[in-house]
């Protein structure tokens, strides 16, 4: 049994098929979802963290259908890092991270010592302790992104889902966030636009194109010049990153020599 099994998921929105029969599994590895704008990456993630009910198919977390669980129960198993919601803006960093403990049954502000320890561990891991008392509304985009990760870690999930977590981050923080995610050794599904970050940090990638998974495998096997031409319409070449020994991609729009 895999930690996460996505079985034949389809999603229709406003009468349009957005996700078409996607199947994937993940177990203590990092699976990257890549694909052009509008290919369905966020929609697929939303079905997994129970924001959006699929039209067809099942999502099993630790062998149980997430859509058959109560939402709090599902939130103890799957944590999501998405763009922050307006209601977070009223909270301090510590309060925001503490909301990650709500699925564990405590009311906000009435945490046990276990809850406090989990919040502290999560804040340390995500590097947000030094602005613990600041209001979320006073933080930069990158700082908020790390608070979102800390909140997800405070949930102590077995599956972590991240939608474009490197969005607002400078290069140092992009790399440190992904290195941190790798060090957690939990099942992770992550959308990334930067294919070199996917190549550097993901064990496997799933390439989405017009709502279908058109390729799945190691970055080395999947992110080939042919596939990048077909899916992204760019001319690409592959090489080895001299610092890491991992796959590195370079591209042009196809018109340049
Ligand atoms: N609520 C909705 N109603 C109608 N169409 C929607 C809805 N949400 C998403 N879509 C459409 O579904 C398609 C997939 O969107 P999605 O956000 O999943 O793509 P994505 O791969 O995450 O894109 P991006 O890389 O631009 O973030 C898009 O064409 C989008 O317009």
Q: Is 51 in the pocket of ligand 1 (CB under 6 A)?
A: no
- Maximum mean pLDDT: which of 49-58, 99-108, 176-185: 49-58
Separation of CA 162 and ligand 1 centre (Å): 16
Q: Which pLDDT belongs to residue 42?
A: 95
Q: Which pLDDT belongs to residue 107?
A: 57
Strand order in the sheet with 16-26: 16-26, 4-13, 56-61, 64-65
Q: Label residue 108 by pLDDT band (50, 70, 90).
A: low
User: What are the start-end ranges of the E strands in the chain?
Assistant: 4-13, 16-26, 30-34, 56-61, 64-65, 78-81, 159-163, 187-191, 204-209, 212-217, 235-240, 247-252
Note the ipTM here.
0.97
Separation of CA 40 and ligand 1 centre (Å): 6
* CA–CA dist 225, 234 (Å, integer): 8
- pLDDT, one tens digit per residue, over 175-190 is 988 998 999 889 999 9
Q: pTM above the 0.90 mark?
A: yes
Residue 44 alpha carbon, nearest atom of ligand 1: 18
- Tokens (6 digits) for 8: 């034949």
Q: Is 38 in the pocket of ligand 1 (CB under 6 A)?
A: yes
Q: Is 39 in the pocket of ligand 1 (CB under 6 A)?
A: yes
Average of per-residue pLDDT across 66-92: 86
Separation of CA 244 and ligand 1 centre (Å): 34
Q: Is 167 in the pocket of ligand 1 (CB under 6 A)?
A: no
Average of per-residue pLDDT across 9-24: 96
> Is a pLDDT exceeding 70 seen at residue 91?
yes
Q: Which pLDDT belongs to residue 153?
A: 94
Q: Label residue 83 by pLDDT band (50, 70, 90).
A: confident
- pLDDT, one tens digit per residue, over 129-167 is 999 999 999 998 888 889 999 999 999 999 999 999 988
Q: Which pLDDT belongs to residue 84?
A: 62
Separation of CA 43 and ligand 1 centre (Å): 6
Q: Which pLDDT belongs to residue 6?
A: 96
Separation of CA 239 and ligand 1 centre (Å): 32
Residue 39 alpha carbon, nearest atom of ligand 1: 21
Q: Which pLDDT belongs to residue 256?
A: 64
> Is a pLDDT exceeding 90 seen at residue 199?
yes
Q: Which pLDDT belongs to residue 55?
A: 96
Q: Is 43 in the pocket of ligand 1 (CB under 6 A)?
A: yes
Separation of CA 254 and ligand 1 centre (Å): 26
- 141 C-beta neighbours (distance < 10 Å), count: 11
- Tokens (6 digits) for 3: 């930690």
Q: How far lies 41's CA from each of 2, 107, 209, in Å?
A: 21, 33, 9
């Amino acid at each position: 049994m895999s930690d996460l099994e996505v079985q034949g998921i389809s999603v229709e929105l406003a009468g349009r098929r957005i996700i078409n029969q996607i199947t994937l599994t993940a177990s203590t590895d990092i699976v990257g979802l890549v694909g052009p704008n509008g290919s369905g990456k966020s929609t697929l993630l939303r079905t997994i963290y129970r924001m959006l009910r699929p039209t067809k198919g099942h999502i099993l977390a630790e062998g149980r259908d997430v859509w058959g669980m109560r939402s709090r129960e599902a939130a103890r198993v799957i944590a999501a890092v998405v763009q922050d919601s307006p209601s977070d803006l009223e909270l301090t960093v510590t309060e925001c991270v503490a909301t990650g403990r709500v699925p564990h049954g405590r009311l906000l502000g009435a945490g046990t010592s276990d809850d406090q320890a989990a919040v502290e561990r999560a804040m340390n891991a995500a590097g947000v302790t030094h602005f613990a008392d600041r209001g979320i509304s006073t933080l930069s985009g990158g700082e908020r992104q790390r608070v979102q990760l800390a909140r997800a870690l405070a949930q102590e999930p077995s599956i972590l889902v991240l939608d474009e977590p490197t969005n607002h981050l400078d290069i140092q923080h992009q790399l440190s966030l992904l290195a941190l995610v790798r060090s957690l050794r939990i099942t992770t599904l992550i959308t990334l636009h930067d294919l070199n970050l996917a190549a550097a940090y993901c064990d496997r990638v799933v390439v989405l194109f017009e709502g279908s998974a058109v390729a799945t495998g190691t970055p080395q096997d999947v992110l080939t010049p042919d596939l990048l031409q077909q899916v992204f319409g760019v001319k690409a070449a592959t090489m080895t990153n001299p610092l890491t020994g991992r796959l590195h991609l370079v591209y042009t729009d196809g018109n340049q020599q």
